[in-house]
Structure 1
Amino acid sequence: GNLFSRVANIEKDKNGHLYNRKSDFRVEYSILEELECGMAVSRKTERAKILQQLSKIQNHVKRLQQQLKNVKPTPEFVDKLKEMMEEIENAINAFKEEQRQIYEQLLKEEKTVINELSLFERKVDLWTLGSKTTEKVLKLPSARVSVDKTLENHLPEEVVEFERFLQRTGGQQGGWDDYDHQIFLKVWTKHKGRLSYMDEVLEHLCGRTKEDIEQHDKWYQEFLILHKRKKESIKKWKKKQQQEKGHLKQKEKSEKRLKEEWLQCEEAQKQKAEEERKRQQTVIEAWKKQKAVAFAMEQASLEEEMQKKQQKVRQRQCHMKLLLEKYTLQKKEKEELEKLEKEKREEAEKEGRKRIAAEEMTKFQQR
């Protein structure tokens, strides 16, 4: 029940990643999605094929059962039964052989995946430590791990101890080949490490002796202990890193606060300087305004004085014009008077001459 629950949860998590269209890794997941669909189709096809083979075998068995209901004690009947049984046996053997080959292929693929996952797990553990020198470890084969002095100075002691153990004992499989080690792991896990697993392991690993398995068991026990220590060490290292990160964040927070206070102080100084500039600007504007008013008043005074002067000039001009007109009129009147007097004199002289002429004429006539 727990296994099915775990599988269901893993499937749920997997589908949550594969089919999440909002994921940042949608392009990469789409490749996995296609692979998943292909594998699902392949599994359905294989299941249908197996069901077809089993159905065929089942039909043969049913036919045999029908024949056995009507047993006939004849050589022909016996030969027929023998032929049917051989046919069923051949079909079963062929099915078992095909499934065995498929199982062995899956087992090999499982070993490859487990080895790759183990290697990736070690890579992730070393990456987690954050040291660039660990890149040297990542480039080495999993079966022969070399831990040099440079790495010892950068890796936790438990990690170095684990890597040295792998180097000394033949890597992740303890010197065994992948197939034997995976069989050992499968049976050992099945029996949860109890000694009852020994007989089953010996049954599956014909080329291994009991001493080999006991020695490998001892190696595996030590492997688990050292691996656990390594994981705990990395966990502690992570915790320490988190604490240092927390201190660093606190320091950054403090520096940020100081920077903010400094910026606030600088801003206050800028604001004060701006206010002083505005105050001076106000004073200057008031002074300019005052000067402008004074200048305007001065201009108005000058203009008023100028207008007065111009008015005086106009008055003088008007007076002179009046005097000139009066003089002209008087002169004209004088000239007319003189002309009139002249005409009167001339008239008087003319009258005098006429009178004299008349008198002379009278005198002449009297003579």
Structure 2
Amino acid sequence: MAALTTVVAAAAATAVAGAVAGAGAATGTSVGAAPAPQQNDGCFSTSGGIRPFQLQNWKQKVSRTKKAEFIRTAEKFKNQVIIIEKDKHSHFYNQRSDFRIEHSMLEELENKLINSRKTERAKIQQQLAKIHNNVKKLQYQLKDVKPTPDFVEKLREMMEEIENAINTFKEEQRLIYEELIKEEKTTNNELNAISRKIDLWALGNSETEKAFRAISSKVPVDKVIPSTLPEEVVDFEKFLQQTGGRQGGWDDYDHQNFVKVRNKHKGKPAFVEEVLEYLPGRTQDEVQQHENWYQKFLALEERKKELKEEEEKEKKQLKERQRQFKLKLLLESYTQQKKEQEEVLKLEKEIREKAEKADKRKTAADEISRFQERDLHKLELKILDRQAKEDEKAEKQRRMAKLKEKVENNVSRDPSRLYKPTKGWKERTKNIGPTGSGRVLHIPHRAIPTWRQGI
């Protein structure tokens, strides 16, 4: 019954985790993540890289595989619970007339547990339905994203509400699991105590031993002792039944005095005489027979004790192997998760690097185009400047030609004119006489400072 509750709760937790993972993926692609830059189809889409939607499909495929595996495990547990329930009902109903009162108590307890499971299941379904509706609302809001602060704040509040609901649900389930584990441990301890009591019933007082002897005289020992017990335990129980129980057919007083004196002498033969003093009603042969019986009893009991220690040791080893196996499973699960995370990070890194390379190629192409346009513009300006200079030169030559046409040169040729002085030279060699004569009235001097005047 506890297993069924655990399976239902685990299935519910997995369904919620899947729904929230889907919502988180949708939120990350619509609100949290910036819009991806447009790729250059000519240099990126044909390079054979992994696109983001391929990565998303891979994640969804892994999630579906895990969900399918969990559902198969849950179905397996469910079938096991059904089989156990059938076995339980068959045992109870076959012995219903013998244990009517006990069976009615068990039926009442079972009905209470069934009602409790139904109530708990309804509560879990209600919580899951509420979380599912909130996730659906969030997905509906993400279909029409508005880049406004109010809309982003609304989405954040909805996501926080969903997260709080999931955390509350997980905390409640964790507390329920802890309580179930405590109840399971308590039940195991009670069952172990009852099992020990059942084992001790065969080791009762002398009256019980006499009853066992009476039974053993009528019923074979193999039918009294279960055949599923170890051989050493069976031998020990047979020995007790055949020889009068744990006191060898003696009463409690005689046996206790025998054991006290024997322990005092540490099993030496001299203790027989002292036993006869304590037990005057016993003969030496009876004491010697009881000594032989007691030695065999101690040997069988020691063997049973060793067997019990071996069983406890095997149980500890089994628990240790189970613990190691669980640790191995956890380690393998952690290694697998880490490997998957590394693969995802590697794919994301490759996608990011390819996108960066595409951006760089696009930027380089834009720069090359811009430089080519600049060089072409400079070349056009240079050609225009050269053409303007050529046009200006041609215009100047044309004007000079027109001026030459207007000015007529009618000077006759005179070789003797070459040796004649020019007008400039004549002006230079011309004799200039004095401009006048007379008394100089004033000679200019430098000015005298005011502070030196009159000195």
TM-score tier, shorter chain, comes to 0.3 to 0.5
The higher relative CO (CA closer than 8 Å, separation ≥ 6) is in 2
**Larger Rg computed on CA atoms:** 1
**Structure in which a larger fraction of residues adopt helix:** 1
| TM-score scaled by length of structure 2 | 0.33
